[in-house]
């Protein structure tokens, strides 16, 4: 695998995540390569706790009965998640929204890496 590897988790993973948590991470990369997001785990309250992956300028509406999900925003809840997502954009946001209706769970764990042709590129996580 080429590029740096970043582990991104919900607060206190793998212990129970705290309720009432809204966390945002901004991921950026150089112009070359793609961001590879490999899901390792997701355990969240179905339709109560959500993990969003969005283009940097996409609108994410939290804490409403119906969240806006479009081509710019991917949303995951419960325990179902894709194995791998490849993102070409140079910037994206990862948003974790833990509600107050559930007892919580482990939350999420994903690995982010940069797939690059020269192996010298890197990502920054803010």
CATH of the domain at 102: 2.60.120.290
What sign does the CA torsion over 57, 58, 63, 64 have? Answer: positive
Going by DSSP bridges, is the β-strand pair 5-9/50-55 parallel, antiparallel, or unpaired?
unpaired
Closest residue by Cα to residue 79 from 50, 102, 53:
50
Cα–Cα distance for residue pair 55/89, rounded to 1 Å: 7
Domain count for the chain, please give it: 1
Please determine, for residue 14, whether its predicted confidence score (pLDDT) is greater than 50: yes
Average pLDDT over residues 12-41: 89
Supply the Cα-derived Rg of the chain in whole angstroms. Answer: 14
**Interval 94-121: pLDDT, tens:** 999 998 766 668 999 999 998 864 544 4
Domain containing 44: what range?
5-125
Average pLDDT over residues 84-92: 85
In this prediction, residue 71 carries a pLDDT of 67
Please determine, for residue 43, whether its predicted confidence score (pLDDT) is greater than 80: yes
Cα–Cα distance for residue pair 107/98, rounded to 1 Å: 9
């Amino acid at each position: 695998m080429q590029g740096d590897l970043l582990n991104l988790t919900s607060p206190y993973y793998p212990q129970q995540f705290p309720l009432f948590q809204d966390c945002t991470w901004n991921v950026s990369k150089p112009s070359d390569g793609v961001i590879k997001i490999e899901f390792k785990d997701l355990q969240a309250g179905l339709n109560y706790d959500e993990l969003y992956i969005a283009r940097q300028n996409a609108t994410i509406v939290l804490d409403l009965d119906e969240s806006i999900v479009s081509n710019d925003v991917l949303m995951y809840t419960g325990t179902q998640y894709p194995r791998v997502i490849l993102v070409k954009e140079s910037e994206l946001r990862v948003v974790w929204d833990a509600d107050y209706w559930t007892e919580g769970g482990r939350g999420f764990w994903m690995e982010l890496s940069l797939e690059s042709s020269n192996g010298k590129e890197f990502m920054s996580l803010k």
